[in-house]
Structure 1
Amino acid sequence: MPDPAAETRDLAFSYRTHRVLDSVDLALARGETVALLGPNGAGKSSLMRLLAGRLLPSRGSVRVLGGDPGREAGVRRAIAWVPQEIALYPRLTVRENLEVFSRLMGLPRAARAPAVLRALARTGLEEVADRLVGVLSGGYQRRANIAAALLAEPTLVLLDEPTQGVDQAARAAIHAVLERLPRAGAAVLIATHDFAEAERLADRILVLQDGALRLDGRLADLLAGMRAGPPEHEVALSEAAAPEAAAALRQAGFHLASPLTWRAGSSVAGGYDGAALLAALRRQGVPVREIRVREPGLDGLYRAVTEAAPAEPVRARSGVPA
């Protein structure tokens, strides 16, 4: 990758005696959106704070535009860090918040007003610019949080769960903002638990688990590899399966995903179509509410990677890890 916007090499971070990240090698390109997936406690927020210069590595290096964000204030000004929490003043208007943050960022006086107007326009907040942040909906507050981060025209944008807790309309509005960022030449890294969000926004997928990078690959290539195989079958139950029903599901090639959901391994695919499978399971007393048959998606790939939990990180650039 020529001249990455951000890069880590042999990156490790420990908190007291706990190793949070270990040997993470990563490069982020301008104009690219990367989704960062992983279980809670995998180290996602720590990785983003290291990239933002909020933490210093225990070992290895972080470089943004060739500089060290942990030690160089000028490098940090090229980075937008958007945490999960709303980092705004609730008793100020959206516009007043942006004016305050433009000063805190050290923007020259003449550049502040144009930067505020530009940030309002990029996030679609002109109509609420003069309303107090504290009375706005969660979706508007999150967009204002993003607007504040974009004031200095960053090269690297880091977002931690940017649509957490918002409704579908607000999620779509935030996605529209995020889709425009790489077109302006920014590198975008989004930590999310939302697979649909990752599929919509990301060019590339990272899976972090137990502090190690388990997967790094282009989304299109990864999904193409998954979809070359059989479709996924999922059985939704109306009640928890009794022992006999559970045995019938396992014999058909399913495993328990949640108390009311069973998913098929590859052995069932092709053996039944949805209707035939439904009839066969009901004959065996399984309380089936519905059968879903679909192309494998990112959630299936994520399960395959995290459940395998390999001892060594997977360095997949295309296709699906073995």
Structure 2
Amino acid sequence: MPDQAAVVRDLAFSYRNQPVLDGIDLALARAETVALLGPNGAGKTSLMRLLAGRLVPSRGSVRVAGGDPAREAAVRRAIAWVPQEIALYPRLTVRENLEVFARLMGLNRAARGPAVARALGRAGLEEVASRLVGVLSGGYQRRANIAAALLAEPALVLLDEPTQGVDQAARAAIHGVLERLPEAGAAVLIATHDFAEAERLADRVVLLQGGSLRLDGRLSDLLAGLRAGPPEHEVALAEAAGPAASAALRQAGFHPASPLMWRAGHAMAGGRDGAALLAHLRRHGVPVREIRVREPGLDVLYRDVTAEEPPAGPARLPAGVPA
């Protein structure tokens, strides 16, 4: 279909006779941002490498802009692959890096200057264009990494953990860049473990587990379904819970979201209101700092889906294969 930038049908991939992905069907529409979620080892990076033409499927097909990225160089040039690693020359300026990548992408001399200027503007890098990449912050380096991938006006943009390891200000700046990517008509696929990032950027969410797609839906529909039910309750702790405190929290229906945050996705256990629950937990030695009520988010849906028994198929990624 003309509005589809990429289509995957019955995709399977094995490494050294070990299954990694099996039976993947996925379509990515132009001007759409899709968040790719899944636990470590689910096969997210392998799926993105297959879409980028860097791996060849064991079975099934991958089509991007109507062609096979594993076999057609022209199709690969329509794909922007932004890995976690910074793939830039640290002793060149941002502008010089983009000029080098423009030549490597095959842009002719007349097209290079406008393409570099456009990429600098889209990534908000004009003010640091003349600075060496090696002296820039991690956030600026990641934005330059994205800018380099956008030089050829790709039909498909693949980003693997685009904000990993950056501070909140840099994260917000990168999000500002990513939010504008669909405006040029590209399909955007973002692999992330950051649920807030997915909720901010994505139109649609797909969840990969055990080499199979477990969930594919519009973000607005998924969140509306969650929020039609009861609110979620959070217990914020002053310090990490020890064994006895953890047991008390679990008995009250809570599960750990982080060392200092426990959550329950249902009404207060035992019919207690907030004050009664606070007193109950403190009597059992739980170092409660605060109890809060929140709307359920994507993290709740992720927890519920991944906690279910996965379908038969690839259960784990073999050693040496990127997740």
TM-score (norm 2): 0.91
**Offset at residue 258 of structure 1 (A):** 5.2
Give the equivalent residue in structure 2 for 1:300: 300
Aligned equivalent of 2:321: none
Q: Is the 8 A contact 2:210 2:310 kept in 1?
A: no
Residue in 2 aligned with 1:55? 55
**Structure 2 residue matching 1:205: 3-state secondary structure:** strand
Amino acid at match of 1:205: V
Structure 1 pair 136–308 and aligned structure 2 pair: CA distance change class (3 A): same
1:208 corresponds to: 208
Residues in 2 aligned to 1:187 and 1:247: alpha-carbon distance in whole angstroms: 46
Q: Does the aligned pair in 2 maintain the 1:119–1:148 contact within 8 Å?
A: yes
Paired residue for 1:12? 12
Partner residue in 1 for 2:225: 225
- Structure 1 unmatched runs, 5+: 314-322
Post-superposition CA distance 1:184-208 (Å, at most 9, x none): 1110000111111100000000111
SS at match of 2:152: coil
Q: Which residue of 2 aligns with 1:167?
A: 167
2:275 and 2:312 map into 1 onto residues whose CA distance is: 41
CA contact (8 A) 1:255 1:265 kept: no
Deviation, structure 1 residue 264: 1.8
2:265–2:300 CA contact under 8 A, matched in 1: no
Taking a change above 3 Å as real, the CA distance of residues 107 and 286 of structure 1, as seen in their structure-2 partners, is same
**Larger deviation: 260-269 or 1-10?**
260-269
Distance 1:262 1:70, change over 3 A: same
**Structure 2 equivalent of residue 250 of structure 1:** 250
- Which residue of structure 2 lines up, in the alignment, with residue 72 of structure 1? 72
Which residue is equivalent to 2:278?
A: 278
- 1:118 aligns with 118
Map 1:96-245 to 2 at 5 A.
96-239=96-239, 241=241, 245=245
| SS of the residue 2:4 aligns to | coil
Number of matched pairs: 313
Provide the C-alpha distance between the structure 1 equivalents of 2:97 and 2:241, rounded to a whole number of angstroms.
Answer: 54
Indicate if the aligned counterparts of 2:232 and 2:267 stay in contact, CA closer than 8 A: no
Structure scoring higher RCO (CA < 8 A, sep ≥ 6) equals 2
CA deviation profile, 1:260-300 (whole Å, cap 9, x unmatched):
54332525369344333212322344332222221100111
| 1:79, distance to aligned residue in structure 2 (A) | 0.6
Residues 231 and 265, structure 2, Cα contact 8 Å, conserved in 1 = no
Give the deviation of 1:65 after TM superposition: 1.3
Letter in 2 for 1:274: G
Q: What is the percent sequence identity of the aligned residues? A: 84
TM-score (norm 1): 0.91
CA drift of 1:103 comes to: 0.6
SS for the counterpart of 1:220 is helix
Residue in 2 that maps onto 1:317: none
SS in 2 for 1:142: helix
The C-alpha deviation readout for 1:210-261, integer Å capped at 9, x for no partner, is: 1111110100000000011111112233455566544543342224555554
Secondary structure (helix, strand or coil) at the match of 1:207 reads strand
1:95 match:
95
Question: Which 5+ residue runs of structure 2 have no aligned equivalent?
Answer: 314-323
Partner of 2:28: 28
Measured at CA, do residues 245 and 151 of structure 1 come closer, stay the same or move farther in structure 2, by a change above 3 Å?
closer
2-side partners of 1:151 and 1:110: how far apart?
A: 13
